[in-house]
Structure 1
Amino acid sequence: MLKLRLLLLVLVLGVTFVNAQPLIKITGVIKDDLKNPLAKVTVTVLGQNQSTISDESGTYSIYSSTRFFTLKYTLLGYKPVLQEIKRDKEGRIVQDISMVSNINELEQVTITTRQNQLSNSSIINVSDVAAMPSASGNFEVILKTLPGVSTNNELSSQYSVRGGSFDENLIYVNDVEISRPVLIRNGHQEGLSFINSDLLSGAKFSAGGFEARYGDKLSSVLDVRYDKPDSSQAILNLGLQGGAFSSRILNKRSYLLAGIRYKNNTSILNRQDTKGSYAPNFTDVQVVYHHTFSNKFTLGLLGNFNSGIFKLIPESRETQFGTLSTLLRLDTEYSGQEIDDYQTAGGAVTASYFPKANLVIKWINSYFSTLERERIDVEGRYVFNEINNDFASGGFATTKTNKGIGGYINYARNNLESQTFGSEIKADQDFGNHVFSWGLRFERKDYQDNLNEYGLIDSAGYILERGIQNFYQDNSISIKNKLAIQYYTAYAQDSYRLSAHSELLLGVRANYNSLSRQLLLSPRLLLAYRPLSNNKIFRFTAGVYQQAPDYRSIRDFNGILNKGQQAQRSYNSSIGLDYAFDGLGTRLKFVSELYFKYQDRLIPYMMDNVRVKYLAGAEAKGYTYGADFSIGGEFVKDLLSYFRVSFMKANQDILNDGLGYLKRPTDQRVNFSVYFQDRLLNSPTYKVHLSMLYGSRLPVGAPLVQRYSDDFNIPAYKRVDIGFSKDFLDDAGMRKPRFLDRYFSSFSAYLEVFNLLNINNTVSYLWLKDVDNVQYAIPNYLTGRQLNLKLIIKFKNSK
């Protein structure tokens, strides 16, 4: 009986095995356009779970379970090849393939590999930006999932890196340094960030230890490229929060990139505690043109216009907070309105000269002008109550104790005009084992600032009895400032290949400015070692980073300028390991870094939402240390997922205040993030995109005291966003709609759920006192749960 069962089992398995055999076996050799064999080419049968990789001789073999199918051949640095196969019967097919190199991509791959080893930067997978669910819709959302980056505001594109402020981050687009508006004080006033994701060709980010070629800021560098496209293409992006259209036009000797964006996030703002009429409208236009006149000279143009207007007519606010034992509620009625607007216009011209094959010289000239205005006339009348936990009939909470009634007034008539002109010469020359770089830059910034604002709070309801002198006046300012600053900078650096496994980068920056009149020297070093196994990179960095004073840092709470302010200075060091290994069915990359920063000269500040309020007349010293860890890989083919955790401590001591070391406003001890992507098992064209963020609590001080303090905390930031997408023209699909396939190369629909768990995250506080002179922090909450729909359509190339 047992033998019979074994025999039946063998027969069943044999039949199953025979039935599972593929009908077609495809073999062949893959070569480049010079007839050299290509190794590690990925060969995929579209619509089937079949893929392989060619060996060192370029040979491959793969099976198909159908007689009509399409093979796809892909290799970084080469144009992908699609080969249709039609076979009437079973058997074997020999299919040899020739792949054509993509010169632009090959150059970028070579440069990226060398610079990634020597620049302490992370290469950003820009294809993830469109799929990542985001309430702001800005490119910077992907930065907030990277090691070393802290955040507590999904509406803002601002970010803090390793304990630094928002003003300590460098942003470059095609070698042009970008700045942001100054007056913005709330995340919902922010519109479209400068970076247009649809025009991106590449981006890399350094959270510290960056090289001397980059400017004079303390914390980080984001280097973005709008480069030559592979082909002409148009992209349309439509959603409930706005839309965008971009076009890439490729000619024989030139290319044009153009994009226009519009954003209106009224649907998100309407769900906040403050109810009223929101009218946020933001528009951005960017143009990039590049022309190759000869093999020795090219000219590039970058143009930008960014406009935003935020209008709010508040009506009422109801904020409930506290504990289970003490539940408090603030009810406010408003009158008046707030109108904020800004316009930025400008561009850059880059002339590139190639006198030799190993030398490039760039001359970059840029000019940007920004106008910012605030018009605020808002009066609030509030009732502050302690309420019962149990609810009366009708679902309304009953009042237990009245804590006070009162009112407050916010008034502003602020105008800021700024112009920035820069002219820079940069050169890079490759001597084989050496790559030598140098640059000279002149920059002039002009500011004209008219400030007239005040805030009055009657936090006990005594105004009728005692008069306006009993109001708390918050930042009462009436002043006009005019300032011009010239900056002169130079840098030189050399990357040297010490051996087949180690490289050294040495550089120095020099900076002089007309405001502090200091000559600042900043030496920097990076040592990289790659063992023979070729799956690890060890890095050590050390350097001095100095940030010259600017208008933002020298303007005090009352608008007075401290023109004697000195540059901020930080001594940085770090040690890191990149390790690639096979696990969980894929190739994983583990990245870790330990760092320490000692700052012997800092300008202390306080945080109010996204506004940095400097104590411009004070000086501090401080230290920051921490560790960043991340691991990522393609757990699902072609979809990158990663996890990271960061630990940090950032303290500072304001000199001569008698308080010693206190936490910096950006002292967020723990940050954790996840970005995970997956496909539905039986429907691979359906994808899931999950983003999770956690940031531990942030220290904050009450504004009613005239000194810096950290005796209060903003609660931990917890956020989960999820998106579902389907590309109707995905290669993984068995069938493609004929109409869509005729006109589009991609047609993707997205359903997103922002703040999936509907967590009330706090961004700042409104501070009030009750009749017993007890001070309360009324939380200003961020966005709640919200649905979003969008379409991303890529048109087929015109022939």
Structure 2
Amino acid sequence: MLKLRLLLCMFFLGFPGVSAQPLVKITGLITDDFKNPLSKVTVTVLGQSQSTISDDNGLYNIYSSTFAFTLKFSLLGYKPVLLEIKSDKAGRILRNVKLNINSNELEQVTITSKTNQLSNSTILNVNEVASMPSVSGNFEVILKTLPGVSTNNELSSQYSVRGGSFDENLVYVNDVEINRPVLIRNGQQEGLSFINSDLLSSAKFSAGGFESKYGDKLSSVLDVRYDKPDSSQAIFNMGLLGASFSSKILNKNSYLLAGLRYKNNSSVLNTQDNRGSYAPNFTDVQAIYHQNLSDKFNLSFLGSFNSGIFKLIPEDRETQFGTLNTLLRLQTVYAGKEVDDYQTAGGAVTVTYIPKPNLVIRMISSYFNTVEREHIDIEGQYIFAELNNSFGNGNFGTIRTNKGRGSYFNYARNNLESQSFSTGIKIDQTYSNHTFAFGMRFEQKDYTDDLNEYSLIDSAGYILQGLKNFYQDNLISVKNKLSIQYYTAYIQDSYQLSPQSDLQLGVRANFNTLSSQLLLSPRLLIAYRSINNTKIVRFTAGVYQQAPDYRSIRNFNGLLNLDQKAQRSYNTSVGMDYAFDGLGTRLKFASELYFKYQDRLIPYMMDNVRVKYLADNEAQGYTYGADFSIGGEFVKDLLSYFRVSLMKANQNILKDGLGFLRRPTDQRVNFSVYFQDRLLNSPTYKVHLNMLYGSRLPVGAPLVQRYNDDFNIPAYKRVDIGFSKDFLDDVAKRKPRFLEKYFNSFSVHAEVFNLLNINNTVSYLWLKDVSDVQYAIPNYLTGRQLNLKLIMKFKNSRQ
């Protein structure tokens, strides 16, 4: 009874003390860069439970139970603001706040950027790349979650867009066009892509209908910027698959960005069926220096060195496949090794002259040299058998029928050196209702290629040699030397028809010394924005012509078709972006319907990531489809999005008499989810889930006399999951003092790749048994794997 009275006394004595605790009321107006009031801005008192949102007039009211506290203002699409407040007494405090646009997040869920209205592109949230669980660790992982993008290989940074090949995608870094290696056969040979995620300031991607200022390829554009940082910073990233360090140094009239990356994914490669000694080592060094020479002149330099060495000493392989009725197994013992390496080095210089605020002139020159080498000596001795599949007699998994014994041998001594030099000028001028863009560019590409390779298959006692078709890599021994010059120019005008509608007209001209064609490519974009600024409707139409390059003119035997003409596609699309409130957040729904008719294509085949052109053939084709996506902050401050793409891509190789067949990249259905959530009701613990599905892809057996699509690679299904904790998150109630003193961010990540341990097929090994029946033995991709990484962002010592 005494305890009860004591508790009651404490309650009644303590309660008035709590309710009488002094309160500070903070009120104010929240606006954007243009002094427009912002509604639905979340306002929180860090370390306390108080939170509110601004009303339709941008006004907010919130209370604090302490005199010294920090307010956080956040709205998706804008940079968060932290406001420290100190008061010596209770009462009312007035604080007006301005939020600045965050271009990395803006286009995900809101429609406010007029620039993007005329670009038909998606602004990527580059800050999400570090949190996305990815085996490759490359920036392109974010592209594979976008509408219209297809992939079936987590090891590769290559991607297909709306039925196009890997070679149909444009990539720009600071207005400099980047080219990909030629000799890459499979994803495990690929290392670090050119783009360094730690140095990025912005990126945007167009899956089609892009404007005239971009180059002459058929499918997509990725436009990446390494721009001026907000402040000096150093970032260190270390994990089981590699490490990176980057530094950003900001001075009054200059800035320097530098990055060093290293990657070794041998632990992931060891989860494949081919067991052996893997030694992949990839490094990359990049630097960007910018100097303001005066108010009107500035100079920028981009330098890069990218190196990769892939070594493999295979030991053995065991692959089981088939159905419940027919269970098959291939056992192989290897001898020999494979050594592949490549180095790319080069740089670009950009001089910018701004004689007046509405006129910008840029002169850009670049040079890159790439050396690629393949050395392969691998022999395999195999036993191919059908297994017992009955559980009842205890013989499950034992050999029922021996399908054959044999061997195969792969040999290659391939060396390719390519050089690319370009120089050009870009001019942008704005008037009252017009924005004019004009540019000219000269590029020269030189290739020196020494090809020596062959493969032999001794299946059931005979050698498969001398087949007269383009599918069997029997014997190639050629030396090619080629130089191509390209001359391009473009002009376009973006015109405001009315406050809600815009028109963009442009045309590109292209001439090259290989095909000696003058190619003209007109392009059109019309956009309408609703009065309430929640909807944009776009229509695009244009001609896209891709001039022949060394890769497309080289046939299966290594010989060059110097008479090849440019590929051409007539593209149309209509799309809508719609922003609305739902599920307690701001959402953006995007959709686009498209149709492409190609009256001139160079057909090709796919083997893993190797594109093998039928350079002496020509085809016609068509592609149509629809892309849909929806995204938003389903969980506060964490972006998530869902997308689905439907597509059909067919081609007709002329004069083969077979009519229209599926293109190698005809992936009818693509679906992806990137979802983020919080764990344990704590804002500092997060989960990042990445799910991909791509329907089956057509593939043909190599031992037939024609191109065909009567076989399929099974659907690609993959789930990767990551968990992270940032000890210095803005919403953390307790922060370690040591970390807070030296770091802006200190996060730990745990990732599980291929969570469901699905065997995805990337290609096939083709063998015949003693009955001359051909079998496709699947080459599987990586299995389940755990990865740990640590990301540290150091504080600026000068602050």
Distance 1:359 1:602 in 2: 39
2:775 aligns to what? 776
Distance 2:604 2:296 in 1: 49
| Cα offset, 1:97, TM superposition | 4.8
Closer, same or farther in 2 for the Cα pair 1:571/1:486, shift >3 Å?
A: same
Answer whether contact 1:407 1:461 (CA < 8 A) is retained. no
2:698 aligns to what? 699
Answer whether contact 2:76 2:637 (CA < 8 A) is retained. no
Distance 1:620 1:106 in 2: 41
1:732 aligns with 2:721: no
| Cα offset, 1:53, TM superposition | 4.5
Distance 1:201 1:216 in 2: 25
Distance 1:39 1:104 in 2: 17
Partner amino acid for 1:716? A
Answer whether contact 2:104 2:124 (CA < 8 A) is retained. no
2:5 aligns to what? none
1:238 aligns with 2:238: yes
1:665 aligns to what? 664
1:407 aligns with 2:411: no
Answer whether contact 1:502 1:527 (CA < 8 A) is retained. yes
Answer whether contact 1:147 1:629 (CA < 8 A) is retained. yes
Q: Secondary structure at the match of 1:371?
A: strand
1:498 aligns to what? 497
2:11 aligns to what? none
Answer whether contact 2:27 2:62 (CA < 8 A) is retained. no
Distance 2:78 2:660 in 1: 56
Answer whether contact 1:715 1:762 (CA < 8 A) is retained. yes
1:60 aligns to what? 60
Answer whether contact 1:406 1:459 (CA < 8 A) is retained. yes
Answer whether contact 1:27 1:59 (CA < 8 A) is retained. no
| Cα offset, 1:70, TM superposition | 1.7
Distance 2:143 2:79 in 1: 29
Partner amino acid for 1:699? P
1:190 aligns with 2:190: yes
Distance 2:103 2:316 in 1: 56
1:370 aligns to what? 370
Distance 2:32 2:151 in 1: 48
1:7-18 pair list within 5 angstroms: none
1:588-737 pair list within 5 angstroms: 588-680=587-679, 682-737=681-736
Distance 2:16 2:489 in 1: 70
1:7 aligns to what? none
Answer whether contact 1:621 1:655 (CA < 8 A) is retained. yes
1:436-447 pair list within 5 angstroms: 436-447=436-447
Partner amino acid for 1:480? K
Partner amino acid for 2:719? V
2:755 aligns to what? 756
Distance 1:108 1:619 in 2: 40
| Cα offset, 1:437, TM superposition | 0.3
1:429 aligns to what? 429
1:28 aligns to what? 27
1:502-521 pair list within 5 angstroms: 502-521=501-520
Partner amino acid for 2:448? Q
Q: Secondary structure at the match of 1:130?
A: helix
1:203-222 pair list within 5 angstroms: 203-222=203-222
Partner amino acid for 1:505? Q
Distance 1:570 1:36 in 2: 45
Distance 1:59 1:477 in 2: 73
1:42-121 pair list within 5 angstroms: 42-48=42-48, 50-54=50-54, 59-64=59-64, 69-73=69-73, 81-85=81-85, 91-97=90-96, 113-121=113-121
| Cα offset, 1:636, TM superposition | 1.3
- How many equivalent pairs are there? 782
| Cα offset, 1:106, TM superposition | 14
Partner amino acid for 1:797? N
1:554 aligns with 2:553: yes
Distance 1:103 1:462 in 2: 65
2:177 aligns to what? 177
Q: CA RMSD in A?
A: 2.9
Post-superposition Cα deviations, 1:465-485, rounded to whole Å, max 9, x if no partner, equal xx9779995242000000000
Answer whether contact 2:643 2:672 (CA < 8 A) is retained. yes
Q: Secondary structure at the match of 1:116?
A: helix
Post-superposition Cα deviations, 1:361-393, rounded to whole Å, max 9, x if no partner, equal 000000000000000000000000001125799
Answer whether contact 1:350 1:363 (CA < 8 A) is retained. yes
Post-superposition Cα deviations, 1:624-669, rounded to whole Å, max 9, x if no partner, equal 0000000000111211000000000000000000000000000000
| Cα offset, 1:459, TM superposition | 1.7
Q: TM-score w.r.t. structure 1 length?
A: 0.93
Distance 1:161 1:35 in 2: 37
1:580 aligns to what? 579
| Cα offset, 1:703, TM superposition | 1.2
| Cα offset, 1:55, TM superposition | 5.6
Distance 1:494 1:512 in 2: 22
Post-superposition Cα deviations, 1:659-701, rounded to whole Å, max 9, x if no partner, equal 0000000000000000000112521100000000000000000
Partner amino acid for 1:275? R
Partner amino acid for 1:570? S
Partner amino acid for 2:365? N
1:225-304 pair list within 5 angstroms: 225-304=225-304
| Cα offset, 1:605, TM superposition | 0.3
Post-superposition Cα deviations, 1:578-611, rounded to whole Å, max 9, x if no partner, equal 0000000000000000000000000000000000
Answer whether contact 1:331 1:384 (CA < 8 A) is retained. yes
Partner amino acid for 1:149? V
| Cα offset, 1:52, TM superposition | 3.8
Answer whether contact 2:191 2:308 (CA < 8 A) is retained. yes
Closer, same or farther in 2 for the Cα pair 1:600/1:48, shift >3 Å?
A: farther
Closer, same or farther in 2 for the Cα pair 1:595/1:98, shift >3 Å?
A: closer
Distance 1:552 1:712 in 2: 26
1:330 aligns to what? 330
| Cα offset, 1:344, TM superposition | 0.1
| Cα offset, 1:397, TM superposition | 2.4
Answer whether contact 1:351 1:363 (CA < 8 A) is retained. yes
1:124 aligns to what? 124
